[in-house]
Structure formats: C-alpha cells, structure tokens
Amino acid sequence: MPIEHVGDYEIEYAGVKLASDRDNWAATVTIFGPSCNPMHRNPIFPCQRVLLDTVFHDEKSAEQEARKAAVEMLPHH
C-alpha cells in the first residue's frame, strides 16, 4: 500500500481485489491528519473504498485513481 505525504497529511491508497469479481479491482483510501505526537497517526478519513461506481482491470490503475481521489479530498489541495 503506497503512502504519500501531502502537506501535513499522510495518505495511504491501494488497489484492492474485489472478492466478488476475480478480474476487477477497487480503489481505497485512508487519510491521516496532523498529530501532536509523531508516534500517533490521526485518521481523519478511515480506510474505505472511493470511486464506488468504478472498477479497475488492474491494481496499478486502481492505485493511481485512489491517489487522485485522496488528493482531491484534502483541504486546500
């Protein structure tokens, strides 16, 4: 699962194989906000599927679109 820092935020995004469909992938995102303790991550958007109406034919495509969705969700992107 790729992790990227964008400003004060940390985003994790991934392509996840759909259990009900052997050939398709979904995009998932988790966003962590600033925290006063560097050992504690502050989840502001818990891990969940984004782009609900879209399935992808490979993991890489799902990851790329998940990253785009996560960046769009950040305040003042």
Identify the pLDDT of residue 48.
95
User: Given pLDDT bands bounded at 50, 70 and 90, which one contains residue 77?
Assistant: low
pLDDT tens-digit map of 46-59: 999 999 999 999 99
Distance CA 30, CA 37 (A): 19
pLDDT tens-digit map of 5-31: 998 899 999 999 998 877 899 999 999
Stretch (H or E) spanning 9: strand 9-17
Distance CA 60, CA 77 (A): 23
The model's pTM: 0.85
Which whole number is the average pLDDT over 44-72?
95
Contact 4, 72 (CB under 8 A): no
Stretch (H or E) spanning 64: helix 59-73
